[in-house]
Structure 1
Amino acid sequence: MSRPLLPKGFEVELFTGRADGTVVGCSAEVARRFPDFVTEPDRRNLEYTTPPEASYQRQLELLLEPRQRLRPWLTERQLTLLPGSTLSLGDSRHFERSDPDNPYHGYIESTYGTLVVTASVHINLGLSDMPALFAGLRLLRCEAALLLALSASSPFLDGAVMGAHSQRWLQFPLTPAQVPLFRDHAHYVEWMAEQLAAGSMQNVRHLWTSVRPNGDARPHQLNRIEIRICDLITDPLLLLAVTAFAELRLHQLLADPAAHDPLRASPLDAQALAQLADANDQSAARSSLLAPLTHWRTGRTIMAADWIRESLETMAPLANDLGLTSVLAPVQRVIDQGNQAMRWVERQRSGSTIAEIIASEAQVMEQQEVRGAEPNETDSTPPLG
Structure 2
Amino acid sequence: MSLLSKGFEVEMYTGTPDGKIIGLSDKIVQALDGFVREPDSRNVEYTTAPFCGYDRLLCALLKPRKTLRTYLQTLGDYTLIPGSTMSLGGSDRFYRSDPNNPYHSYIEQTYGTSVVTASIHINVGISDPEILMQACRLVRVEAPLYLALSASSPFIDGQVTGDHSTRWQMFPKTPQNVPLFDSHSHFIRWTEEQLAAKTMRNVRHLWSSVRPNGDRRPYNLNRLELRICDLVVDPLALLAITALLEARIMQMMANPELDPLQQSRLSTNDLAADLVALTDENETAAARNSLDAELRHWQDGRKITARDWIDEIYAQVYPIAQKRGFSCFLSPLKKILRQGSTAQQWLKLHRQGMELSAIIQQDIQNIARQERDLEYALCQPALIA
TM-score normalised by the chain length of structure 1? 0.96
What is the Cα deviation at residue 142 of structure 1?
0.5
Deviation above 3 Å: which 4+ runs of structure 1? none
Aligned partners of 2:361 and 2:18: how far apart in 1? 5
Match of 2:35 in 1: 37
* Correspondences of 1:173-322 after superposition (within 5 Å): 173-258=172-257, 260-268=258-266, 269-322=271-324
Is the contact made by 1:38 and 1:47 (CA closer than 8 Å) also made in structure 2?
yes
Per-residue deviation, residues 288-320 of structure 1 (Å, max 9, x unmatched): 000011101111010000001111111121111
Per-residue deviation, residues 75-133 of structure 1 (Å, max 9, x unmatched): 23110000000000121110000000000000000000000000000000000111210
Match of 2:375 in 1: 373
Read off the aligned partner of 2:262 and give its amino acid letter: R
For structure 2, which runs of at least 5 residues remain unmatched after alignment? none
Is the contact made by 1:123 and 1:243 (CA closer than 8 Å) also made in structure 2?
yes
1:47 to 45, 48, 59: 45
1:362 to 361, 364, 378: 364
Match of 1:109 in 2: 108
Q: How many residues align?
A: 375
Per-residue deviation, residues 133-155 of structure 1 (Å, max 9, x unmatched): 01100000000000000000000
Aligned partners of 1:253 and 1:42: how far apart in 2? 38
What is the Cα deviation at residue 332 of structure 1?
0.6
Is the contact made by 2:240 and 2:329 (CA closer than 8 Å) also made in structure 1?
yes
Read off the aligned partner of 1:197 and give its amino acid letter: A
Read off the aligned partner of 2:337 and give its amino acid letter: I
Is the contact made by 2:119 and 2:232 (CA closer than 8 Å) also made in structure 1?
yes
What is the Cα deviation at residue 375 of structure 1?
3.3
Give the match's secondary structure for 1:31.
helix
What is the Cα deviation at residue 373 of structure 1?
2.0
Structure 1, 261-270 or 117-126: larger mean CA deviation: 261-270
Match of 1:165 in 2: 164
What is the Cα deviation at residue 277 of structure 1?
1.3
Is the contact made by 1:237 and 1:372 (CA closer than 8 Å) also made in structure 2?
no
Read off the aligned partner of 1:133 and give its amino acid letter: L
Aligned partners of 1:367 and 1:264: how far apart in 2? 47
Match of 1:331 in 2: 333
Is the contact made by 2:174 and 2:208 (CA closer than 8 Å) also made in structure 1?
yes
Aligned partners of 1:309 and 1:53: how far apart in 2? 27
Is the contact made by 2:63 and 2:375 (CA closer than 8 Å) also made in structure 1?
no
Give the match's secondary structure for 2:80.
strand
* Correspondences of 1:49-64 after superposition (within 5 Å): 49-64=47-62
Match of 1:380 in 2: none
Match of 2:69 in 1: 71
Match of 2:87 in 1: 88
Match of 1:118 in 2: 117
State, as a whole percentage, how many aligned pairs show the same letter. 52
Read off the aligned partner of 1:85 and give its amino acid letter: S
TM-score normalised by the chain length of structure 2? 0.96
Match of 1:379 in 2: none
What is the Cα deviation at residue 17 of structure 1?
0.5
Read off the aligned partner of 2:53 and give its amino acid letter: S
Per-residue deviation, residues 312-350 of structure 1 (Å, max 9, x unmatched): 111121111011211011111010111100000011111
What is the Cα deviation at residue 279 of structure 1?
1.2
2:25 to 11, 24, 27: 27
Aligned partners of 2:325 and 2:311: how far apart in 1? 19
Give the match's secondary structure for 2:240.
helix
2:353 to 351, 354, 360: 351
Is the contact made by 1:180 and 1:270 (CA closer than 8 Å) also made in structure 2?
yes
Is the contact made by 2:318 and 2:330 (CA closer than 8 Å) also made in structure 1?
no
